[in-house]
Structure 1
């Protein structure tokens, strides 16, 4: 047992290696090691390389709880998201992480899976860890979140539909308009019986449904049977299923506005199976402008959301707040762009 203890203290990688062990090996004080790990730029390049190499060799793991007790925060930014598992979130993640790369902060994610009742509990969990800050990347409801945000000791930034409550450290877009404008685009291309594919599972898609419905009503073409949603293991499979169901109840449908490119791809596959010509007999518009959309045949008309820019901008806002630097802006609308391609006239 004694030999095992000695090996853990002197040679074993991992949890038994302390900051003092690293400092002794390098020949500097523990506070120098601590400062170098938090802010590498404050020590010389040669010393930084020695410290980082020694940390790697010895397997030292910083104690974030101790760091939080000793300083303002633990060096982590918590990101609360409803859809970590979906392709569309990837761009946001890359933007967030690119902005925090080469800073003193690291990122930790928590996925709500769109369960509004769990959002406050997950935010509390982040806040108890004394984070540098939190990004709420798409909350369902701010009713239970606002009291926590108001009492939080750290800055909290938001990716939202711009109709939602937060007014500072906010980046997003108006999803009502993102539902209305593509519908107007399809009408302008000569389509009249335009279906909306999406269940309104979250506040953003519900706002898009409202925009779609308002435009269709103004055009005198609204029909509730044209709004359809459902569940399936595959988003592309769901698109095929929804289109098949839609044809049974609205056989004269001539366009589909799908709330994801995966759903739109399913509609396109089903059209090919049935011999329905796209875009002549049916127009298809997706949402998110995923990479495959430009390369399928016909290529997919879609709505481009600048997800990378949204992620980068919200991370930049939060970083400035963490560092007590003046903000360029409190609220940013990054909008969207309709990308016309081969699936519409």
Structure 2
């Protein structure tokens, strides 16, 4: 029989058996020690960890999943990492997964359904224990992949009443309507909606804006200002200048994201346009810096970290085979009224 050291030299990979030999324990003890099982004595854990570090041993997650039929990875698909919205969500998810002994396989979809499908196919190769995906707008092929994989899945940032779908989020449309009603209550009558990226959640906010204005008899389709480009301060500044130049009667602008609204406030200051006296400005998501803007920005605070926490707890229960009820959790939102409106 070929000794462990010879096998590792032949393959170029340090094996679990190599670590066991170096530590003077059995391979099963190495496996349990590296998984952090409490049944292993602290002195053995220290000996195994020292041997693994000295040899440069890196566990093979795919082999471990195949051997144990239990993966320690959870695949998480989010649209962007350049948006603090998803950074807050991901940090919460990763924190709670690590505490439960799981690692995250992060996939960035860039709001592209085809890219999301490819990422999912790649991640399913690693036999993840669970999936967290953003929203519900995706290719039918991707939906079929999720369903046929048999892997527990939780959707975040939106909610659904569809049987068999698990979700944690908020009603983007209700939040959009609430912010629009606030502007109307402040006496605004020409409320524009300015949006970028145009992902499904942005369009749901647009629906909320429309609904509130239609109920007030003030809806005007010409006040929809939609740009598919990525959201940014610079774009918000340009959109503000365009709206004020082309729609001078506008007395309020609801920007679909805070970075656009922050850019608009900078442009208003540059052009000496009084906010909110001449035009009210509001954003969405309560991103970093909105409370420090000049004037401080009225916005909608979304519970990104809480969504990550509750979604992870829901997924952990699903992965344990437990019954989860309710299947959809709406964590709501908070209207944050500041001086810009």
Q: TM-score, normalised by structure 2?
A: 0.91
Q: Is the 8 A contact 2:105 2:123 kept in 1?
A: no
Q: Is the 8 A contact 2:158 2:167 kept in 1?
A: no
Alignment of 1:1-345 (within 5 A): 9=9, 16-141=13-138, 143-163=140-160, 165=162, 167-199=164-196, 201-230=198-227, 235-327=232-324, 329-344=326-341
Does the residue aligned with 1:158 lie in a helix, a strand or coil? strand
Does the residue aligned with 1:55 lie in a helix, a strand or coil? helix
Q: Is the 8 A contact 2:161 2:328 kept in 1?
A: no
The verdict on how the C-alpha distance between 1:343 and 1:149 changes in structure 2, with shifts beyond 3 A counting, is same
Q: Is the 8 A contact 1:321 1:327 kept in 2?
A: yes
The verdict on how the C-alpha distance between 1:46 and 1:190 changes in structure 2, with shifts beyond 3 A counting, is farther
Distance apart, 1:9 and its partner CA? 4.5
The verdict on how the C-alpha distance between 1:117 and 1:278 changes in structure 2, with shifts beyond 3 A counting, is same
Distance apart, 1:335 and its partner CA? 1.1
Does the residue aligned with 1:181 lie in a helix, a strand or coil? helix
Q: TM-score, normalised by structure 1?
A: 0.90
Number of aligned residues: 336
Distance apart, 1:177 and its partner CA? 0.7
> RMSD value over aligned CA atoms?
2.3
Deviations 1:98-122 (A, max 9, x none): 1112322100111111112333332
Does the residue aligned with 1:185 lie in a helix, a strand or coil? helix
Q: Is the 8 A contact 1:82 1:139 kept in 2?
A: no
Question: Partners in 1 of 2:127 and 2:61 — Cα distance?
Answer: 9
Deviations 1:26-50 (A, max 9, x none): 1111111112223433322332233
143-152 vs 315-324, which moves further: 143-152
224-233 vs 80-89, which moves further: 224-233
Distance apart, 1:167 and its partner CA? 4.4
Q: Is the 8 A contact 1:288 1:305 kept in 2?
A: yes
Q: Where does structure 2 lack aligned partners over 5 or more consecutive residues?
A: none
Question: Partners in 2 of 1:55 and 1:104 — Cα distance?
Answer: 19
The verdict on how the C-alpha distance between 1:159 and 1:232 changes in structure 2, with shifts beyond 3 A counting, is closer
Does the residue aligned with 2:274 lie in a helix, a strand or coil? coil
